[in-house]
Chain A
Amino acid sequence: MILLDDGHLDFAGEMGEKTGIDFNRCLQCKTCANGCPFIDGMDQAPNQIIRMIQLGMAVEVLKTSTIWVCVGCNTCSSACPMAIDIPALMDGLRHAALEKGVEIPEPDILNFHQEVLNTVKKYGRTHKLEIMMRYKLKKMDLFSDMGVGLKMLKKRKLDLTPSRVKDKKAIEKIFQET
């Protein structure tokens, strides 16, 4: 007997509505998993994520590292014989995980995304140095990876001042809380 997660019997329907994906299309051929460059860092393969969605395992899916480790390189979706947009699914699952407030197993990745958006909100463009500094501060880990940071500074790959959008109001409007 397969135990389905209580109250989430239609998780596939819910996610299908959000992402436009029909989960019945997945053949479990594992082409996605076989080609994924980052599968070693995931706790579930992309095809397993789809299977779990079919089974209504909402909480389990939303707590996987997979949905955060996927960078959306489209290696899988380009090869998928059923043209399932797996990166779009991962986006939808990340949003759902944040909305439902489940524990995020990859806090560093979330922290990084938040710091990127912080600089975009402030300047309209990303500012790598500030992203790195704030990311490290939040992580309470200033000194690991120092070598790479110094190398980048020396090679002028980290600009000290940000490049900015002139029309600040336009950017504010984009980031307005609704």
Chain B
Amino acid sequence: MKKSSKKPDPGPLAGKLKFSFFPGCSLKASGHENTLSLLKFCKSVDIELVELEDWNCCGSSSAHSIDKRSAKYLPMRNLSLAPKGVPLLIACPSCLLRLKSSFLHIKADPALRQDYEAFFGKPFDDELEIIHFFEIFNRVDLKVQDLAGRLKGIRVAPYYGCMLFMPPDLRYEKSHTGIIEKSLKPLGADIVSYGYANRCCGTYLSVAKPDIARKVVNEIIFKAMEAGAECLVTACSMCHLNLEIRCTLDNPIPVLHFSELLSMALGAEDHKKWFPRHIVDPVPLLKKRGLLT
């Protein structure tokens, strides 16, 4: 069992926070609106994000499924590119899992560390901090008192997918359970409990086994609608895509990226490029709830 790399919670820090940012393939391409709204959110709360120079795919589900070599070195290369002393922020739960596992394994295994250092020709940075986007909420003061009521009346079903589930090796890492609820509730949102917030979206089965993915996706959205939700809020760009493209229910509710709803609550105005990329148009709902005019 690996030791946890969890450090004591530093609490909100003064001054500008700076992170290097690993977007990953989903946020970069199909979930571009997720990236745009995330950058917007960080700007609004005075956080500086610098994209990790020349980052590569983490290997996704495919590398570790069928190719041990690339599954090992793809995440490692990203670690080797991370600048020293700046925490690496990742918004995709899957990429985070790949990079963090790789980091912890190297840290615990001298042979693997040697392998890393020989392959990339540089020493391994033991101190690199790898965090999920959600960790921001433990470090920044959103000043919700000024924003209270911005999301008044909107009935939200939080959707985490598999992101809260960790393999045994990472069991003692920080859990982000409840961050969506904790952030949106003080802004006035009505959080709906529906029992499917942690149901996996099906990931690549959406391509290779669409019938299986369709069933899970419909189940998730149906349960949220049945519980009275007006929208789902997702933590992961790929979940967002699957929930949108595989839903075959009549009049499904829109699915928003967490970063989109947060940015809207903070008064973002440059959202023109976000919502046209949604398959289920969230604009009527946002208008109804006074977030858009």
Contacts and interface: CB of A to CB of B under 8 A. Distances in A.
Contacts of B65: 72, 91, 94, 113
Contacts of B199: 37
Interface in B176-228: 198-200, 202-205, 207-210, 212, 215-216
Nearest to B80: A170
Interface string B142-175: 0000000000000000000110111111010000
Interface string B66-84: 1111100110010000000
B30 interface: yes
B77 A174 contact: yes
Contact of A71 (B77, B204, B245): B204
B56 A116 contact: no
B31 to A, nearest CB: 8
Interface in A155-176: 155-159, 163, 165-167, 170-171, 173-176
A109 B208 contact: yes
A117 B62 contact: yes
A110 interface: yes
A102 B68 CA distance: 18
B276 A108 contact: no
A110 B171 CA distance: 29
Given A111-B208, A178-B69, A88 B54 contact: no
A95 B68 contact: yes
A54 to B, nearest CB: 19
B62 A112 contact: yes
Contact of B29 (A84, A108, A117, A159): A159
A87 B203 CA distance: 14
Give the one of B62, B74, B165 with max A CB within 10 A: B62
Interface size on A, as a range, is 35 or more
Interface string A134-151: 010000000001001001
Contact of B30 (A109, A128, A165, A175): A128
B63 A117 contact: yes
B106 to A, nearest CB: 16
Interface stretch (A2-10, A43-51, A119-127): A119-127
A46 B248 CA distance: 29
Contacts of B54: 165-167
Given A75-B162, A75-B198, A120-B59, A85 B168 contact: yes
Given A72-B61, A75-B200, A124-B57, A109 B70 contact: no
B101 to A, nearest CB: 10
- The interface residues of chain A, by DSSP majority, are classed as helix
A109 B165 contact: no
A59 interface: no
Given A126-B57, A126-B60, A145-B210, A74 B162 contact: yes
A69 to B, nearest CB: 7
Contacts of A108: 208-209
Contact of A85 (B28, B70, B167): B167
Contact of B165 (A78, A88, A155): A78
Nearest to A110: B66
Interface in B6-25: 25
Contact of B167 (A77, A95, A178): A77
Nearest to B219: A37
Interface string B258-287: 000000000000000000111100000000
B62 A78 contact: no
A156 B61 CA distance: 23
Contact of B56 (A124, A132, A152, A178): A124
Interface string A18-33: 0000000000000000
A156 B244 CA distance: 13
A37 B202 CA distance: 8
Contacts of A73: 161-162, 165, 200, 203
A150 B170 CA distance: 39
By Cβ-Cβ distance, the 9 closest A-B pairs, closest first, are A73-B200, A74-B165, A73-B162, A113-B62, A116-B62, A83-B168, A78-B165, A124-B56, A157-B30
9 contacts: A38-B212, A38-B216, A71-B203, A77-B168, A83-B168, A88-B167, A126-B60, A145-B210, A174-B69
